[in-house]
Amino acid sequence: MQNRRVWAEIDLDALTSNLDRVRALAGEGKGVMAIVKANAYGHGAVPIAWHLASQGVNALGVGDSEEAMELRRAGISIPILVLGTIIPGELSDVVDHDIAVTVHSSERVRRLGREALRAGRPVSVHLKVDTGMGRLGCAPGIAVDIARLIRATEFLRFDGLCTHFASPSDPNMTAIQVRRFEEVSRAIEAAGIPLPPRHASASGAVLQQVAPHLEVVRPGIMLYGLSPAPPHDDGLQPVLTLKTQIIFLKDFEAGAPVGYEGTHVTRRRTRVATLPVGYNDGYPWSLSGKGEVLVRGHRAPVVGRISMDYLMVDVGRVPGVSVGDEVVLIGASGDQRVTVKELADRAETIPYEILTRLGKRVVRTFRGGTTTAPEKGFTVLRRPGFWESPSPHR
């Protein structure tokens, strides 16, 4: 019997394999900014970031300044970019801890410049252009003016130009965005401003091999073994397996209600197992009466409503079941497998949400790879015209 309620097993060798797949698709010489926002898509940001750094990624991408600070506090020193925006109260932290910032307006550049001057520290700046996503980024028509302001502001370094594809699987929309981004790139160069490394391709665009001429890719969910949209890439390996255990078994006669509001009523005499995992741990409430788990290599349906801390499954047709049996929520058992996509489809959501909502009570365990600072053999190399990047740890 495990001494845990619910745990995730993280396969860092699979993560390495997926990173190799990214590099193969991106092409030789391309930089890789590995995305570790949202607790590395639920996998555990600090151990994942250490492993990716040991594999020689050029930079890490996060969602906000606190995620960046968590990595800095853990001793991770390779470049980190806040992909979205920062609010004024975060400026001093990002400047003081050498965190790169994405900017979308002249006003934010000026604020950042004043903070960098106060601290007397250089700040890496990436200018984001809205080419069709409509969420963040400056209008293409003012990108040159903002780039010129960045270059003219003391202590600011113009280290990146980026955009975000709204629908990589839509070739027409993506072609429009690529064209707009190229027009901005040419205009910046025509203004006499050296063009920094450019990045636009998240996982979907990497898999579709959109804009292969850009210098950097920034994969997220594909690093963790999932394709964001068709076509599915069979070269990717799942990194996470989610497990729990049976803590209670009870026999029910036909016609017995199970769980809150009695929404499930047994149709036959059966046995029901209680599992110490619920929606607080990230197993969606919407899977009530829809989900299936794996017990002793057999599928067992979720019955009744999922609660905050527990869910119940019908194990009446699982031979030899007993308290303490391991239960697979995501992953394989015998010849059966429950995938993240299957859960997402049943819950009527997307795989991103299934992974990123995994809660604090889920104990992450890691096998293979490097999850802390290597004691030796880990050096930082300067790549001309690009970010600093660690050499692979051996």
Mean pLDDT score of the chain? 92
- Same domain membership, residue 198 and residue 72: yes
132 and 276, same structural domain?
A: no
Query: What is the residue type of 244?
Result: T
Per-residue pLDDT for 394 more than 60?
Answer: no
- DSSP at 215: S
> How far is it, in rounded angstroms, from Cα 304 to Cα 286?
11
Q: pLDDT at position 328, please?
A: 98
Examine the domain organization and report whether 44 and 187 are in the same domain: yes
pLDDT(392) > 60:
no
Question: Phi/psi at 234 (nearest 5 deg)?
Answer: -70, -10
Four-residue CA torsion sign, 369, 64, 165, 130: negative
Q: Would you say residue 22 has pLDDT above 70?
A: yes
Rounded distance, CA 324 to CA 248, Å? 8
Helices 143-152 and 171-190 sit at what angle, rounded to 10 degrees? Answer: 40
Active-site annotation holder among 30, 37, 128, 243: 37
Does 186 lie in the same domain as 258? no
- 352 is an active site residue: no
pLDDT at residue 279 tops 60: yes
Give domain status of residue 4, yes or no.
Answer: no
**Structural domain includes residue 232:** no
Cα 80 from Cα 67, distance rounded (Å): 10
Do the Cβ atoms of 294 and 336 come closer than 8 Å?
Answer: yes
User: Are 50 and 74 spatial neighbours (Cβ–Cβ below 8 Å)?
Assistant: yes
Question: What is the spatial distance between Cα 387 and Cα 31, in angstroms, rounded to a whole number?
Answer: 9
- The H-or-E segment that residue 238 falls in is none
Q: Is residue 136 classed as helix, strand or coil in its secondary structure?
A: coil
For residues 178 and 246, state if they share a domain.
no
The token pair at 59 is 């930079």
Our count of domains for the chain comes to 2
DSSP per position, 85-98: ---GGGHHHHHHTT
Contact 327, 245 (CB under 8 A): yes
Question: What's 115's domain CATH number?
Answer: 3.20.20.10
Verify whether residue 260 is a known catalytic residue: yes
**CATH number reported for the structural domain that contains residue 362 in this entry:** 2.40.37.10
Whose CA is closest to 242, among 4, 56, 20?
4
Main-chain phi, psi angles of 9, to 5 degrees: -100, 120
Q: Give the residue numbers spanning the domain of 98.
A: 12-223+371-390
pLDDT of residue 381: 36
Ranges of H-type helices in the chain:
12-26, 37-41, 45-54, 65-73, 91-96, 106-119, 143-152, 171-190, 203-208, 340-347, 351-356
Task: Please state, in angstroms and rounded to a whole number, the distance separating the CA atoms of residues 35 and 25.
Answer: 17
Structure tokens at 128: 């984001």
Residues 203 and 279 in one domain: no
Two tokens at 93? 């932290």
pLDDT tens by residue, 251-260:
999 999 999 9
- pLDDT tens for residues 340-372? 999 999 999 999 999 999 999 999 999 998 777
Same domain, 353 and 378: no
Instruction: With cut-offs at 50, 70 and 90, classify the pLDDT of residue 232.
Output: confident
pLDDT at residue 58 in the model: 96
